[in-house]
Structure 1
């Protein structure tokens, strides 16, 4: 692979801290194209789900599995995205796309996300190796303390998986362990600007506050997996299909076409939102 490369310090930061921020991975023009398409795309909005936090505020998200030949697919499949993930997962890995979420936190009403690990959800999909799963958040609008930017507990990915249970309509981490982590490690507010990328490990504890500002907080979060990391209970095949990479220029060259065939997740089909067995007994918060 060629194109954009993370430097050795960025790779070391990711493995030590569980995350790394890359400023300006995408240009202002590219982000404007993504954001405007997200605002105007009726299929995307029709397939958005509302998830309530404990106070009743709503976060809206659209989630799909297979990256297509559209502006979102070209971001997911771009050389700079896939090459960066390849460096962080390990250069022996074949990079696959698990899913992407469009997160829409509207002013005054956008809800909080409870403390959680992504692998706290994906454990239900029976992925074997959490080190071979990661997420990349791309800011479409500014994300700051006022509008509910991501908060992370630095180095918490080294704790391993924490038990998760329900908190409102969301699945959150056991707060006793979260509080231990907060006493042991640093809490970091990841304030990022449009085009910045936040790469983070599947076991990194993170959360976000409700958006009480006058400004929206929109982002794309793309989740990637190594092809060798088997998901024994995942019905979508995307997690095991190597990404078909497109040149970085493809995003700006894209012209509007249909987004109607995307394999969106329906709320009722999400395995993380189904309570069975031990999960019903896990302490919620």
Structure 2
């Protein structure tokens, strides 16, 4: 791999804790361009999914698969992103982009995310190897305790996959195991600034509170898989297609397309929201 982005200590921290925070991963100018696009590109609004939490509050997200020639596509395909991800995935195979999503937690109404592992969702896509799956959250606005920043249980990725059931329209982890994890491991509030990036393992337990503040919390989350990681229940093809890497300067200087041509997820097509039977056996609320 050319030009590794992360130090050996950062890689070790990720393997021990299940996550690492990289301050200033994106510049102020990059964040400004992405946030402006998120607000102004009508495709984001038209393709946003509303997901209810247990209290009925809504979190909006827009999710797409193939990374394009829009500003978010350039971020997810950027050399700094792919080189960092490659260092953290448990494989030497090429890095593939599973999907990206714009998370939109509006002031006062943005809903909570219940305790879950990303692999709790992606297990239904029948991905084989959770160590070859990773999520990267880049903050577009400040994330604080007040506006519902991400909370993680440090080291909980070492539990392996926890059973998941439904919490509202979300998929939530078995609360007995969550409570055991909270007795055993450290709860961390990931308060981050615009441009900071949080890399986290697919089995890391995490959640976020509703946004009861006066300030929005927006972020872009890109999820990656190694090409060696097979998914037997996934109809998109992005997850097995090596990323076409672009230089970091593409985010600011390359001409960008609209997101209107992106292959957005429709709610009825999400395997994670379909009953498989075993969810009823899980205490998730």
TM-score over 0.5 for the alignment?
A: yes
- Residues in 1 aligned to 2:91 and 2:165: alpha-carbon distance in whole angstroms: 34
Judged with a 3 Å threshold, the aligned counterparts in structure 2 of structure 1 residues 4 and 248 are, in CA distance, closer, same or farther, namely farther
Q: 1:199 — aligned with what? A: 199
Contact 1:117–1:202, Cα closer than 8 Å, also in 2: yes
- Residues in 2 aligned to 1:173 and 1:252: alpha-carbon distance in whole angstroms: 39
- Residues in 1 aligned to 2:284 and 2:256: alpha-carbon distance in whole angstroms: 44
**TM-score if structure 1 supplies the norm length?**
0.98
Q: 1:257 — aligned with what? A: 257
Q: 1:51 — aligned with what? A: 51
Contact 2:41–2:258, Cα closer than 8 Å, also in 1: no
- Residues in 2 aligned to 1:223 and 1:278: alpha-carbon distance in whole angstroms: 26
Q: Is structure 2 residue 235 aligned with structure 1 residue 230?
A: no
Q: 1:97 — aligned with what? A: 97
Could you give the per-residue CA deviations for residues 206-237 of structure 1, whole angstroms, max 9, x where no partner exists? 00000011000000000000000000111001
- Residues in 2 aligned to 1:3 and 1:251: alpha-carbon distance in whole angstroms: 18
SS of equivalent to 1:98: strand
Contact 1:79–1:246, Cα closer than 8 Å, also in 2: yes
- Residues in 2 aligned to 1:96 and 1:82: alpha-carbon distance in whole angstroms: 9
Superposed structure 1 runs of 4+ greater than 4 Å apart: none
- Residues in 2 aligned to 1:138 and 1:3: alpha-carbon distance in whole angstroms: 21
Contact 2:106–2:211, Cα closer than 8 Å, also in 1: yes
Could you give the per-residue CA deviations for residues 126-149 of structure 1, whole angstroms, max 9, x where no partner exists? 000100000000000000101000
- Residues in 2 aligned to 1:47 and 1:22: alpha-carbon distance in whole angstroms: 30
Report the Cα offset of residue 57 of structure 1.
Answer: 0.7
Contact 2:157–2:202, Cα closer than 8 Å, also in 1: yes
Worse-matched range after superposition: 230-239 or 91-100: 91-100
SS of equivalent to 2:146: coil
- Residues in 1 aligned to 2:180 and 2:33: alpha-carbon distance in whole angstroms: 42
Q: 2:122 — aligned with what? A: 122
Q: 1:21 — aligned with what? A: 21
Unaligned runs of 5+ in 2: none
Report the Cα offset of residue 276 of structure 1.
Answer: 2.2
Could you give the per-residue CA deviations for residues 66-120 of structure 1, whole angstroms, max 9, x where no partner exists? 0001101000000000000001114613100000010000000000000000000
How many corresponding residue pairs? 285
Contact 1:67–1:97, Cα closer than 8 Å, also in 2: yes
- Residues in 2 aligned to 1:162 and 1:179: alpha-carbon distance in whole angstroms: 12
Report the Cα offset of residue 4 of structure 1.
Answer: 5.6
Judged with a 3 Å threshold, the aligned counterparts in structure 2 of structure 1 residues 4 and 195 are, in CA distance, closer, same or farther, namely farther
Judged with a 3 Å threshold, the aligned counterparts in structure 2 of structure 1 residues 250 and 3 are, in CA distance, closer, same or farther, namely farther
Q: 1:8 — aligned with what? A: 8
SS of equivalent to 1:15: helix
- Residues in 2 aligned to 1:247 and 1:237: alpha-carbon distance in whole angstroms: 23
Report the Cα offset of residue 259 of structure 1.
Answer: 2.1
- Residues in 1 aligned to 2:179 and 2:283: alpha-carbon distance in whole angstroms: 13
Report the Cα offset of residue 3 of structure 1.
Answer: 4.3
- Residues in 1 aligned to 2:138 and 2:4: alpha-carbon distance in whole angstroms: 16
Q: 2:139 — aligned with what? A: 139
Report the Cα offset of residue 260 of structure 1.
Answer: 1.8
Unaligned runs of 5+ in 1: none
SS of equivalent to 1:260: helix
